[in-house]
Amino acid sequence: MLRRSGVPAPSTGQREQIPYGTAVAVLIASPVVALPLCVSGVDLPLTGLCCLALALAARGRPAAAGLALAVVCSLKWTAWPAIAVALALLGCVAGRRAAVRCTGIAAVGTTLLIVPSALLSPAAMVEQVLAFPTGRGNLPTPAASPLPGRLLADLGPAGWYAAVGLLVCGALAVALYLVRLPPAHLRAAADRLAIGLLVAFTLAPAGRFGYLALPLVLMGWARLVDAREPLPSLPVRGARPDGMALVVPSRHSYAHAGTGGEQ
C-alpha cells in the first residue's frame, strides 16, 4: 500500500539497514506479538486493521480508510481512537473534505455493523462492551495486570472514580495534542495513536498488559516503513498553529519526486 515505485531512496551515507522483511519477522516473533498470535483473539486483527487504516489515510484514500475504520471499530472499543488520528492525518494529506468523507463512511459502516447486535441483545451489548472492560460487569474481568488504573480501581469506589477521572484527563490531553499538532505523515500519526492508547490502557480500570501490543506494533511498524521509504520533500499544504511550515506529502507527487529538482 505504501510502496512508491519509481522513487529512489535518498543516499544517507550510512550502513545498509536491516531488510524490511527480516525486521517484520523479528517484530512478529517478539513476545508481545507471538503470545496473542498463539492464543488467538481479536487483538492482532485489530492491530493490522489500524495499520491499514493509517496507511490508507497517509495515501489520501478517504473511502478505503473509512471502510477499514468501520471494520476495526466494530471489533473492539480500543480501536475507536484510530478514527480521530486517521481523520487528522487525512486533513493534512488530502484536505478537510476528504476527512469529512472518511468520517461519514466510518460512522455509517460502524453503525451498520454494530446496530444489529445491539438491537437483538441490548443487555448483553452493554454488559460485554461497556461494563465488563471497565470492571463493572456481573463477572469479574480476568485482566489483573498491575497497571495504575487497575491498582486504583482495587481501592474501592473512590479509586475507581479516580482512575476514570485520570483516564478522561489523559484523553483530553492527547486530543489537545492531536489538534494543536496534527500528524503530517504516517509515522507521526502512528505515534499519536500509540501515545493515546498507552494512556488509555495504563489508566483503564481493567487494563492488561496484552493491550500494549497494539501501540507497540504501531510504533515499531511505522518506523520500519519510514526507514524503508523515506518521505521526499514536497510542497507545503498547510501551516502549523505555531507558525512553522507544515510539509505534507501530496498524493500525486511521489512519481516525480526523484526526477530532478526539489518537489
| Burial class of residue 48 in the structure, from the number of CB atoms within 10 Å of its CB (0-12 exposed, 13-18 middle, 19+ buried) | middle
| Burial class of residue 77 in the structure, from the number of CB atoms within 10 Å of its CB (0-12 exposed, 13-18 middle, 19+ buried) | exposed
Q: What is the pLDDT of residue 142?
A: 67
Phi, psi of 2 (to 5 degrees): -100, 0
Q: What is the mean pLDDT of the chain?
A: 77
Distance CA 208, CA 201 (A): 7
- DSSP code of 155? T
Q: What is the pLDDT of residue 258?
A: 40
Q: How confident is the model at residue 70 (pLDDT cuts 50, 70, 90)?
A: very high
| Pure H helices in 80-141 | 81-93, 96-120, 122-125
- What is the per-residue pLDDT across 80-132, written as a single tens digit (0 to 9) for each? 888 999 999 988 888 889 989 998 999 999 889 888 888 888 888 787 777 77
Q: Picking from 12-21, 186-195, 225-234, which range would have the lowest pLDDT averaged per residue?
A: 225-234
- Rounded to 10°, the helix 96-120/62-75 angle is 30
Q: How confident is the model at residue 252 (pLDDT cuts 50, 70, 90)?
A: very low
Q: How confident is the model at residue 151 (pLDDT cuts 50, 70, 90)?
A: confident
Q: What is the pLDDT of residue 105?
A: 92
Q: What is the pLDDT of residue 263?
A: 36
Q: How confident is the model at residue 237 (pLDDT cuts 50, 70, 90)?
A: very low
Handedness of CA 64, 126, 45, 231 (dihedral sign): positive
Arithmetic mean of pLDDT, 230-250: 43
Q: Which residue has the higher pLDDT, 237 or 215?
A: 215
pTM: 0.74
Question: Quick check: 241 pLDDT over 90?
Answer: no
User: How many C-beta atoms lie closer than 10 Å to residue 6's C-beta?
Assistant: 10
